Chain A
Amino acid sequence: MSAAVPTVFVVDDDRSVRDALRRLLTSVGMTVEVFPTAQAFLSARRPDAPGCLVLDVRLPGLSGLDLQRELANTNATLPIIFLTGHGDIPMSVRAMKAGAVEFLTKPFREQDLLDAIRQAIDRDRIARTERQELTELRRRYASLTPRERDVMAGVVAGLLNKQIAAELGSAEATVKEQRGQVMLKMQAGSVADLVRSAGRLGIGPSGIVGPGPHQGRVDRSPGPG
């Protein structure tokens, strides 16, 4: 899981191109998996490792852009490098807007492709790390009792224990104890840590906010915490 080898997925219906890409990427020590169609790629089991997708824009059946949309919809993020047999500007604009890492025209320069692949894998690695941290934070947050969540919201909002107690209508001592539980369960070393975690979970000072399922796509990495 953690030390997995990055994998490059290639989807191209042209056998020559497909095989050549497999040979090229293998020659630079990459792990490659090739598919003739988008459907074949979607139905294959993917290893739990960082990776990227090298995708031909024009594919029979489901096209490259269709596949990009499909992946976005299923929240299965994978950085995509598009390949095209001819420069089609409107198509490349659409692809880039939809989050493609790179749009290369065949025949492409090896360095351009490898750079794009490395960049994409890095991006995927970061995204995967972030995704893992967020999952952990959500798990921790889920372990809080409702009262503890309320207390956390108060702490994140910068309230004192007394103020929180007044707002929740409980004793200050109880709040203090609950605040300790929150700090423990959320593995927050300081109030600043807790605030950062709350921010990443999308919890505002106004109260309870559930984890946003549609926030999976991460375009810009804020950097590791």
Chain B
Amino acid sequence: MLGVPFRPAVATGGGPLQRRVAQSAVARYGVAVVSVAVMVVLGLLLRPIVLAAGQLLLLAVLVTGWISGLRPALLAWGLATAAFAYHFTLPLDSVKVDPDQVPRLMIFALVAGFMATMSAARRRAEDLLRSARDELEARVRERTTELGESERRYRHIFDSTGVSIWEEDLSRVKQALDHLQARGVHDVGDYLAGHPEFVEHVIALVKIVDVNDASVALFEAGSKEELVVSLLRIFVPETRAAFRKAMTSLAEGRPFFQGESVVQTLKGQRLTVLFTVTFPRPPASFESVLVTVTDITDRKRAEYLTGHVFETSPDAVYIVGRDYRYQRVNAAFERRWRLPAQRIVGMRVDELAGTEPFEATYKPHLDRCFAGEEASFVGWFPTPAGRQYLAATYSPLRPDSQRVEAALAITRDLTDHARAAEALQQAQAELAHMTRVTTLGEMTASIAHEVNQPLAAIVADANASLNWLASATPDLDRVREALAAIVKDGHRAANVIQRIRQLVTRTAPQKARLDVNDVIRDVVPLIATEVRSHEVSLRLDLAVAVPPVVADRVQLQQVLINLVMNGMEAMTSIADRPRELVIRSRPHEGGQVLLAVEDAGVGIDPSSVSRLFTAFFTTKRDGMGMGLSISRSIIEAHGGRLWATSNARHGATFQFALPALR
């Protein structure tokens, strides 16, 4: 039964009393019984005076029909007819009815029945009417509340929004423009452009109804009143153009106008604004037209700065879409390709930069960028200005969505740097060659010894063979033995010469996969004689498994020879301890391979540590001071590091680490 009391009354109910009665069938039928009883009592009281008092029972039927509806009324009708027959038809107080009384009783019954139905029908009609009215009233109340809410919301938005809103009355403006068109002016825009005085007139016709707080703040006004005076207070000459366009839109019956313009605050500050006018539909009134004004001064400035950076960047900057077509390019890019931006925009990258570089380099990096990664690369690329060494970075652009829409490319021309680096490398290679030759010069005696040893053996063995063959019974076994030794020593001599040739031949560095242990083993025969003449004992301490490196074999040998020679020379004055030199190989931290040459010499003078690797620094009487400097630049060119440390007890360790091949 919840909520029922608030519903509009249903057909069986009436006013407050009826509604309450209608709730219970007992009550409703009780009304019939009670009203009939009351009328019987009243009729009996009046019967001695007039027998027609029995007609009062009709009232009971009428009342019951009115209050309780049709069915209780029919009950009342039955009861009333019975009571009438019993009490008010002759013979009185008897169920018997005189035959001459029958018509009277019939009439009573008919009238009472008619009254019952009539009264109930009336009751129902009235109830329907009442409920319809109640419903209507409720609806009106609801709508009123809604309208109030909407108005309140609108006011709230109007007042509290950050957007400046102007409520303007343009009805007189509309009239003036209509008048103009009525006079036969078709192109309102054209007319306005040619009639500035008319524009001023129209401006004056604009009545500012209201402005919101945001407008007061934006235009630096003290109050709304200061602002609503006239549009002229915020207009600057440039504003007129936008105003003319807005008026043209109005005259042409467009639904709204949006434009960008410059205005000024009451304090004279210039603002760049975006304003929107929503025009009412033609039959509606132009008394309340809303104009919103958005301050885009900062945005414009940022746009200007971004655009300025884009256009004036010395780096070529461009945007490439997912279709590999240029969307925007800057001036530096135009200069590089010697084409105007209009020609480039829309071209595919391969059409401009060439199919081969596109497939090999641009496309894979662009694809990575479109997949969301930042991609960078450097290389030589053909351009109309010749081959250029370009360093490029592609950044993904996602203007709206998560999907990368385009790639922002920034490319820098490093041709000059690359050329300089190449020249430097060339110079270094020449210097390295020179020092290599110098080192070899210093090692000539050793090298001669190294070659003459096998040659001496060969000559001696050849003579021995001749001697054996010259005897009466040649000892061929001995001859064979000597010849085998000749072959072996011949190869040995050739190997030594081969190694020396490698060191002396001027070749561009050739990087290959190398085992540093092999490099060490190659160097040992070259330095063996020096090791002996310096009375040094050489010990190899090689790691069983070192990862390979990518390096130039000869250059590494040169560095190693340099370090070994230095180590040995550092020990020439040592007499009180073994002159031991250790060449060591080890896997090193960070995926590197370490090569160390440890001596037991005089060690490093702390005052010269910092200059150790600089060119022309030497502690030797006849040294050039190039060895360590060259060695360091060779190792650094291999992406490695060369450094020196003092040993715990005696001497120093010179070592270098190279990145291992993964």
Contact = CB atoms under 8 A, between A and B. Distances in A.
B581 to A, nearest CB: 13
B272 interface: no
A26 B445 CA distance: 31
Most buried by B among A60, A107, A109: A107
A46 interface: no
Query: Interface residues of B: mostly helix, strand, loop or mixed?
Result: helix
A85 B460 contact: no
A107 B467 contact: no
Interface residues of B, number: 30
A85 B461 contact: no
B529 interface: yes
Contacts of B482: 20, 23
A58 B456 contact: no
Given A23-B464, A58-B532, A16 B457 contact: yes
Interface stretch (B202-210, B250-258, B484-492, B650-658): B484-492
A105 interface: yes
A110 B459 contact: yes
A147 interface: no
B24 interface: no
Nearest to B455: A107
Contact of A85 (B463, B464, B481, B529): B529
B550 to A, nearest CB: 36
A86 interface: yes
A60 B532 contact: yes
Contacts of B445: 86, 88
A14 B485 contact: no
Contacts of A86: 445, 448-449, 452
A86 B448 CA distance: 6
Contacts of A24: 460-461, 463-464, 467
A106 B459 CA distance: 9
A162 to B, nearest CB: 66
A17 B481 contact: no
A32 B375 CA distance: 76
Nearest to B454: A16
Contacts of B478: 23, 26-27
Given A17-B460, A23-B485, A60-B532, A85 B453 contact: yes
Contacts of B492: 16
Given A20-B485, A85-B529, A106 B456 contact: yes
Contacts of A110: 459-460, 463
Contact of B452 (A20, A28, A85): A85
Size band of the interface chain A makes with B: 20 to 34
A21 interface: yes
A59 B532 CA distance: 7
A21 B460 contact: yes
B598 interface: no
A16 B452 contact: no
A19 B489 CA distance: 11
A93 B489 CA distance: 30
B450 interface: yes
A108 B450 CA distance: 15
A55 interface: no
A52 interface: no
B617 interface: no
Contact of B457 (A20, A58, A88): A20
Interface in A36-72: 58-61
B173 interface: no
A107 B448 contact: no
A107 B468 contact: no
A13 B482 CA distance: 19
Interface string B475-515: 00010011001001100100000000000000000000000
A106 B458 CA distance: 10
Nearest to B456: A106
Nearest to A83: B456
20 contacts: A14-B453, A16-B457, A16-B485, A19-B485, A20-B457, A20-B482, A23-B485, A26-B478, A27-B468, A85-B450, A85-B456, A86-B445, A86-B448, A106-B452, A106-B455, A106-B456, A107-B455, A107-B458, A107-B459, A108-B459
Given A27-B465, A86-B448, A108-B460, 13 more contacts: A20-B456, A23-B461, A23-B481, A24-B461, A84-B449, A85-B448, A85-B450, A85-B453, A85-B529, A86-B449, A106-B453, A107-B452, A107-B456
| Nearest 4 interchain pairs by C-beta | A85-B449, A106-B456, A27-B467, A20-B460
Interface of A: 13-14, 16-17, 19-21, 23-24, 26-28, 58-61, 83-86, 88, 105-110
Interface of B: 445, 448-450, 452-461, 463-465, 467-468, 478, 481-482, 485, 488-489, 492, 529, 532-533, 535
